[in-house]
Chain A
Amino acid sequence: MMTEASLPARPTRPMTQRLSTVADMRPTDDFLERPQKVVATNVNFFYGSHQALYDVSLRMPQNCVTALIGPSGCGKSTFLRCLNRMNDMIEGTRVEGTILLDDVDIYRPKTDVVELRKRVGMVFQKSNPFPKSIYENVAYGPRVAGVKQREVLDGIVEQSLRRSALWEEVSDRLNESALRLSGGQQQRLCIARALATDPDVLLMDEPASALDPKSTARIEDLIFELKDTYTIVIVTHNMQQAARVSDQTAFFYEGHLVEAGATTDVFTKPRQKQTEEYITGRFG
């Protein structure tokens, strides 16, 4: 089996150099002027009687990477899961406030949740491929959306796997079980699977937290490439990762959005004391 280590490095992307420091980051000043893809306003979220989010308002501009950071239990994952209404699956939950996707409230009663989730893809913390072949994993989204022609599916599968930088490693064994891939490959497969439904927004819930540094670097590299096409929201525990991959950073603490802004600003001159203490590692 081909391992990630044996792969030829892509010469044009000296990733470690380019993404290594905050100071190297591309200009981010303009990102708030870009069209707002997702706009959350005064979002309150309840698990039964327990309130998990308090009045969270955050704009997520198009083709930007927004990183949600904060200590465990701060509500960042809950907020992420509000954006594609995955919290609906948990009984006894309630959402207040509005979340606009392209200026339409995703919580209005008319929303087709199935349609929403095709537009807002999600990658989970622990890679969760279906116990099926690599091909069937990627083809699942288009299939449930009604795509039947084999040639069309073949095209989507190849394109998605190429975008998630997995194609070269798996093109000759698409019919093998996805569960035989390495952890890093499985996570990129899950990204490919999410891309196959052609979403506008990609939500990532600590996509690299279970991976080794090399696989993590590949995922980060991938996020950087994908933001040209998608709007990305990523939850991460890893401050360096947030600094490396995101344009905007939002710091959550105990259900409140403490501070949000350009990543460079949040990391170099945080406005709130809590933010500073968290990013410098004094708690969390």
Chain B
Amino acid sequence: MSSLPRNGRPYAKLASQLFAYACAACAFSSVAILVLLLSQMLRFAWGWLDWQFITSFDSQLSPDKAGVRAALVGSIYLIALTTLFSVPIGVGSAIYLEEYAQRSRWRGIVQTNIANLAGVPSIVYGILGLGLFVRGMQMGAGVLAGALTLTLVVLPIVILASQEALRAVPSTIRQASYALGATRWQTVWHQLLPAALPGIMTGVILALSRALGEAAPLVAIGAAGFVMFTPRGINDSFTALPLQIYNWTENANDDFRIHVAAAGIIVLMVMLICLNATAVFLRYRFGKRIHW
């Protein structure tokens, strides 16, 4: 040890400190951007966002009468159906890949593909949805086609998050279960899923937040931007919040373009925050029961 030079790197300590400051600046800048964005939106939406805005349909001409009712209901339908489709398929795939599939070339191909699919731009899924659901299966640009398209968008995320959650369950739990004469299915159902549930739910909710904010695939399948009714069935045409907001920002009228759109954005943000809060709550609630 004596051969180490004294004061060999005189600026090491300073560099370390500077690095810490730089990192802190990066962290705070993201918060600053969010605060700036939110305050700007709130300022624009002030006076426009009221109960009437929530309960009214869109209006072609008068910004005062315009509202998000159709878009809000449409988004809720979409999210509910997307959850219904993506959770069973996604969790099922994850269970298969983690617990059943042998390590083989085939499994490697599937795994790589899922990881790649998670990075595919959502507009591409929109085009697939248009070809497959809207035209191929003759569904039309209805709620069902929209939800199925969004399912395509979020499925890779749900699968990857669920796999991650299953992988995080200690292998000692698997071994203990198998050693007691449990079958694979019993081990999955009684031990692995309960233990992985907080992680799976967090992943699902984050995926749904993404689905909630997607406009591009809905544009691609040809969902309407102006709708004066709420969907009564799964094949009814619909609009969704991001689509409605996009539509307003295209309006020539400044009141629509700035104020009504900002009010719509606030509604969307509140929904997103609610979803994320649910994720945090569920993680806390179910995570508490499990201590490794």
A117: chain B residues within 8 A (beta carbon): 178-181
With A128-B170, A177-B291 as contacts: A144 and B179 at CB distance below 8 Å: no
Total number of A-B contacts with CB less than 8 angstroms? 72
Instruction: Let me know if B232 is at the binding interface, CB within 8 A.
Output: no
Q: Can you list, as one digit per residue, whether each of A96-131 has a CB less than 8 Å from chain B (1) or not (0)? A: 000000000000000000111110011010101111
Contact of A131 with B289 in the complex, beta carbons under 8 Å:
yes
* Residues A124 and B180 in contact, CB atoms below 8 Å apart: no
Closest to A180 in B: B291
CA distance A179 to B176 in the complex (A): 15
Interchain CB contact under 8 A, A130 and B181? no
* B172 close to A126 (CB less than 8 A): yes
- Pick from B103, B170, B183, B290: contact of A144, CB under 8 Å: B183
Per-residue CB contact flags for chain A residues 143-157 toward chain B (1 = under 8 Å, else 0) read 111000000000000
User: Would you call B195 an interface residue if the criterion is a C-beta within 8 Å of the partner chain's C-beta atoms?
Assistant: yes
Question: Which residues of B are found within 8 Å of A233, using beta-carbon distances?
Answer: none
* B169-191 near A? 1/0 per residue, CB < 8 Å: 01011111111111100100011
Q: Is B102 an interface residue (CB 8 A)?
A: yes
Q: Bound complex: CA of A97 vs CA of B170, how far in Å? A: 32
Most buried by B among A91, A116, A121, A140: A140
Q: Is the CB of A197 within 8 A of B181?
A: yes
In the assembly, what is the distance between CA of A2 and CA of B190, in Å? 30
Return chain A residues, CB-CB under 8 Å to B178: 86, 89, 117
Decide if B292 is an interface residue (CB 8 Å cutoff): yes
Given A86-B175, A91-B102, A190-B176, check contact A114 B181 (CB 8 Å).
yes
Interface residues on A, range: 20 to 34
> Do A131 and B291 touch (CB < 8 A)?
yes
| A-chain residues with CB within 8 Å of residue B180 when the two chains form the complex | 117-118, 121, 140-141, 144, 193-194, 196-197
A91-B102, A177-B291, A179-B291 are known contacts. Are A130 and B179 too (CB-CB below 8 A)?
A: no
Task: Name the distance in Å between A50's Cβ and chain B's nearest Cβ.
Answer: 17
Is A78 interfacial (CB-CB < 8 Å)?
A: no
Q: Which residues of B contact A84 (CB under 8 A)?
A: 179
User: Inside 8 A of B186's CB, which chain A residues have their CB?
Assistant: 144
For the complex, give the distance between the alpha carbons of A128 and B209 in Å. Answer: 36
B170 CB to closest chain A CB (Å) equals: 7
Residue of B nearest to A203 (CB): B179
Q: CB-CB < 8 A to A140: which residues of B?
A: 177, 180, 182, 190
Instruction: List 11 extra interface pairs beyond A114-B181, A128-B172, A144-B186, CB under 8 A.
Output: A84-B179, A114-B183, A116-B181, A121-B179, A128-B170, A140-B177, A141-B181, A144-B181, A144-B182, A179-B291, A194-B179
Could you pull out 11 A-B pairs where Cβ atoms are within 8 angstroms?
A86-B179, A89-B175, A117-B178, A117-B180, A117-B181, A118-B180, A118-B181, A121-B180, A128-B170, A140-B177, A194-B180
Give the B-binding residues of A (Cβ under 8 A): 84, 86, 89, 91, 114-118, 121-122, 124, 126, 128-131, 140-141, 143-145, 177, 179, 190, 193-194, 196-197
